[in-house]
Amino acid sequence: METLAPDALERRKHVKIEGLKELPGDHSKVVLRFAPNPNGPLSLGHSRGVVINAEYARIYGGKVVLRFDDTDTKVKPPIPDAYHWITEEYEWIAGRPADVIIRASDRMPTYLKYAKKMIRDGHGYVCRCESDKFRNFRSLKEECPCRNKGCDENLSEWEEMNNGEILEGGAVVRVKTDMSLPNPALRDWPALRIQHNPHPLVGDKYKVWPLLDFQSAIEDHEQGVTHIIRGKDLMDSTRKQTLLYNHFGWEYPFALYWGRVKVHEFGGFSTTSMRDSISSGIHEGWGDLRLPTIKALQRRGFSPNSLKEFWIDLGLTQKDISVPMKTLESFNARIIDSGTERRSFVGEPIEISLVGELPEYEINLPRHPEDSGVGDRCWKLGDRIAIQSSDFESGKLRLKDFADITLSDSRGVIDSIEKSDGRKIIHWLPLDCARNARLITPHGKEIIEIEGLLEDVDLVIGNVYQLERVGFARLESFQEDSTAILIWLHG
């Protein structure tokens, strides 16, 4: 060591530890879970959960359970399409499908079974108090009258709840903890409530539905989850569920937390508010470029690896953070740049006639400046070309990779083919090689569409190109009139 690298021993002062920290506990059979509500497709915020869980599963050779927490039919009702959207988006982000996929709504018999057992064992009870009345008991650390009912009475009321004899709001099943607990959130917390709304997938078969804390607790145990990674807003859920696990004699998984994330450009990630903005027509749909959805990121051409590197770099901390999209974009740019071919896009074009000795040849430009292996793009030269109106200034310009010209009105006099001085270099396009195009760019609350001309050489729908002097964009489609639709990615 000392002879091979004498100063390696000293120089190793501060090294940043890359990657995720070690998971606590046993690593031999790691089971994690990602549990979204299928009330919409996945957002950029969700992708943190996918990345972190999938990465830990990869590190330890463990599994990830993708679980649809769809037990609310009223406040955040599930969207049937969201189940397959999320399944596919999970796979896209993680680079592999989830190991186990379950829907909470399919597992109702299990939840109801445990609920009944809890009541029978005296660890839970049917509470008929109105919510604000119970709230009052809770704040006073007093027990509500329902708490000391006999087991038989609880059980018969439980049956009434399930039969639909008790209306919504008429009863709730509570986990018996301790009304004198210092943390008010833990005092006899609600486990199941009545919902008569039909569930979009299982209909009106069930009248009693578990709340998140109960459903999630039971299912984590059923699936053998060893590590729960969740937002720190759910810390009290851990404490509530630990109390429930004690009733059942189960051992609670390790829980890890992350703080709230905001992105400067988008703020938070509320599926519900996105849903509202779509139904009210403010946004065009879940793939609207202004929305922080995975669908929008896919349309723009982000690499799933950029999400992975981004979230792993951010790590798993409990700090509430706000990061700029620029950070994600720089990860993405680094990933895609070497494999992204260049093309010319002239926005808001102005036609120019070339005057002078027009060489009778084709111009060969590299598809990638640092990678000759991908070959050239070939332009047939004509005397009609287009330049960007923002570059139009009467005077001396260099048409990139072609010629020095002097511009006056809409005529470009060729001064020389060789680069003769330090004049401004602009991108351009022979009209013969151009196709109409529209570059669509999200800009805050607006969507900006720039009409222009795109170099019409080997265009493949779905590919990302770097538009010279403009930035990265994904070719989304050709319209019927053959106009190319480009979606802006980043600079």
Partner RNA sequence: GCUCGUGUGGUGUAGUUCGGUCCAUCAUGACGGACUCUCGAUCCGUCGACCCGGGUUCAAAUCCCGGCACGAGCACCA
- Residues between 434 and 473 with contacts to RNA, criterion CB under 7 A: 466, 468-469, 471
- Which CB sits closer to RNA, 179 or 278? 179
- Which CB sits closer to RNA, 81 or 233? 233
User: Judged by CB under 7 A, which stretch of 165-173, 429-437, 440-448, 474-482 contacts RNA?
Assistant: 165-173
CA distance 305 to 320: 23
418 binds RNA (CB under 7 A): yes
User: Judged by CB under 7 A, which stretch of 180-188, 221-229, 274-282, 451-459 contacts RNA?
Assistant: 180-188
How many CA atoms are closer than 13 Å to the CA of 393, on its beta-carbon side? 10
- Which CB sits closer to RNA, 103 or 227? 103
User: Judged by CB under 7 A, which stretch of 9-17, 198-206, 221-229, 275-283 contacts RNA?
Assistant: 9-17
For RNA (CB under 7 A), the number of binding residues is 84
User: Judged by CB under 7 A, which stretch of 114-122, 185-193, 200-208, 294-302 contacts RNA?
Assistant: 185-193
Site for RNA in 133-162 (CB under 7 A): 134-135, 138-139
Strands 428-430 and 124-127: unpaired
Choosing from 163, 246, 318, 364, the residue that interacts with RNA (CB under 7 A) is 318
The one-character DSSP state at 347 is E
The pair of structure tokens assigned to 287 is 């793939």
Site for RNA in 236-255 (CB under 7 A): 236-237
Site for RNA in 258-287 (CB under 7 A): 259-260
User: Judged by CB under 7 A, which stretch of 155-163, 288-296, 421-429, 435-443 contacts RNA?
Assistant: 421-429
DSSP-assigned beta bridge partners for residue 231: 258
The H-or-E segment that residue 433 falls in is none
Quick check: helix, strand or coil at residue 57?
A: helix
Residue 329 CB, nearest approach to RNA (Å): 8
232 binds RNA (CB under 7 A): yes
Site for RNA in 58-97 (CB under 7 A): 69-72, 74-76
Contact present, 377 and 410 (Cβ < 8 Å): no
CA distance 443 to 293: 15
The packing angle between helices 325-336 and 304-314, to 10°, is 130
Compute the CA torsion angle 114, 117, 119, 121 (nearest 10 deg).
Answer: -140
The pair of structure tokens assigned to 206 is 């069930």
Residue 476 CB, nearest approach to RNA (Å): 21
223 binds RNA (CB under 7 A): no
178 binds RNA (CB under 7 A): no
CA distance 87 to 84: 5
| Ranges of H-type helices in 280-432 | 294-300, 304-314, 325-336
Choosing from 27, 196, 400, 438, the residue that interacts with RNA (CB under 7 A) is 400
CA distance 391 to 349: 9
The pair of structure tokens assigned to 354 is 């070339």
The packing angle between helices 108-120 and 151-163, to 10°, is 160
CA diameter of the chain? 102
Choosing from 1, 7, 14, 148, the residue that interacts with RNA (CB under 7 A) is 14
The pair of structure tokens assigned to 387 is 């330049």
- Which CB sits closer to RNA, 123 or 138? 138
Residue 296 CB, nearest approach to RNA (Å): 21
Please give the backbone phi and psi of residue 266, each rounded to the nearest 5 degrees, phi first: -115, -20
Residue 125 CB, nearest approach to RNA (Å): 14
Of 38, 14, 107, 96, give the one whose Cα is nearest residue 62: 96
- Which CB sits closer to RNA, 204 or 313? 313
CA distance 398 to 61: 56
User: Judged by CB under 7 A, which stretch of 182-190, 219-227, 243-251, 375-383 contacts RNA?
Assistant: 182-190
Please give the backbone phi and psi of residue 137, each rounded to the nearest 5 degrees, phi first: -55, -45
Residue 482 CB, nearest approach to RNA (Å): 25
The H-or-E segment that residue 435 falls in is strand 434-443
Strands 254-258 and 261-263: unpaired
CA distance 253 to 33: 11
- Which CB sits closer to RNA, 347 or 442? 347
Site for RNA in 341-380 (CB under 7 A): 342, 369-370
CA distance 176 to 247: 9
- Which CB sits closer to RNA, 249 or 361? 361
Residue 295 CB, nearest approach to RNA (Å): 19
Choosing from 58, 95, 122, 131, the residue that interacts with RNA (CB under 7 A) is 131
- Which CB sits closer to RNA, 63 or 138? 138
Choosing from 321, 378, 448, 461, the residue that interacts with RNA (CB under 7 A) is 321
The one-character DSSP state at 17 is P
330 binds RNA (CB under 7 A): yes
- Which CB sits closer to RNA, 30 or 35? 35
